[in-house]
């Protein structure tokens, strides 16, 4: 589950989001991710 709110921001001209996920059904643990949006040539936009 999401450990805390995360915001989407622009850094060095790139769209990014830092996310912390809290693991469930384990003794302990969190995973920190940084997502970065990229253009894929030939793909249709959302």
Q: Print pLDDT tens along the chain (46 aa).
A: 766 788 999 999 999 999 999 888 888 899 999 999 988 888 886 6
Instruction: Supply the pLDDT for residue 45.
Output: 67
Strands 8-11 and 30-36 turn out to be: unpaired
Token look-up 């949006």 returns 37
Q: What share of the chain is helix, strand, coil (3-state, %, to 5)?
A: 0, 45, 55
CA 32, 3, 40, 13 torsion: positive or negative? negative
């Amino acid at each position: 589950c999401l450990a805390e709110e995360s915001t989407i921001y622009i850094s060095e001209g790139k769209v990014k989001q830092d996310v912390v996920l809290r693991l469930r059904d384990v003794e302990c643990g969190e995973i920190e991710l940084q997502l970065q949006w990229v253009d894929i040539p030939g793909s249709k936009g959302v």
